[in-house]
Amino acid sequence: MTEAHGAKPAEEAPKELPAAFFGQFLAENGINSKRHADHSGAVECIELAAKDLLPAIKLMRTSADTQLNYLITISGVEQANHFESVYHFWSYNNLKELVVKVIVEKSDVPEGQLPVVPSIANFWPAANWHERETYDLVGIRYEGHPYLRRLLNPWDWDGHPLRRDYKQPVDSLNDKNPHSMR
C-alpha cells in the first residue's frame, strides 16, 4: 500500500533556476548552493552540500543582512531515490524565510546503515530535539549530535516508522510479552 502511493513523489524542476536572494548572498560569501523550485507562497528553497550546511547556517543566522535566527523545524523526507533533511528558517526580526535541503542519495548509503547528515545542534539548541525526532522517525543519522537517542519512540524500538518500507514489530503492542521492555 505504501509503495503504491509513494511511487511518484514530486520532483524538482529539471532546468537550472537563477540564484535568488539567499543563493546570491551565499555565493558572495563563497558557498555554492543549488536553487530548487520555490515552495508555495514564493519561499526560496535551496539545496546545500552536506559540508556547506554548518558554515552557511552560521553565516545566515548571524549576518545583519539575513538574520535567519528562528529555526522553525527540521523534517526528514524519504523520496523515491533519496533522503531529504529539510530545514525551515524564519527570522524574529524581519519577514525573510528560507527552506534549506540537504539531500543524501539512497545509492550512496551503504547497505544496513543510515543516511548521514551533519548536525547543527551544537551550534543551535533548537535543532537538538528536531534532529532527535527525525532520527527516531525517519532514520537520518545526524553526525555530531550531542545526544542522538530516540525521542518519541521507546529507546529500544526497532526500525524507523516513517520509512516507506517500515514493518511494525509483531509484539510491539503486546504488554504480556515478558521480554518486551515497553
- Name the residues that contact other proteins, by CB under 8 A: 1-2, 5-6, 8-10, 39-41, 43, 45, 69-73, 75, 77-78, 86, 88, 90, 92, 95, 99, 124-126, 128-129, 137, 150-154, 161-162
CA distance 17 to 19: 6
Nearest to 123 by CA among 169, 62, 43: 62
Q: Measured from the CB atom, is 10 or 170 closer to other proteins?
A: 10
Residue 18 CA, distance from chain mean position:
24
CB of 54 to other proteins, least distance (A): 16
CB of 87 to other proteins, least distance (A): 11
Find where cell 552557511 sits. 56
Amino acid at site 136: D
CB of 112 to other proteins, least distance (A): 23
Per DSSP, helices labelled H in the chain are: 2-6, 21-28, 53-62, 127-137
Q: Measured from the CB atom, is 92 or 113 closer to other proteins?
A: 92
CB of 39 to other proteins, least distance (A): 5
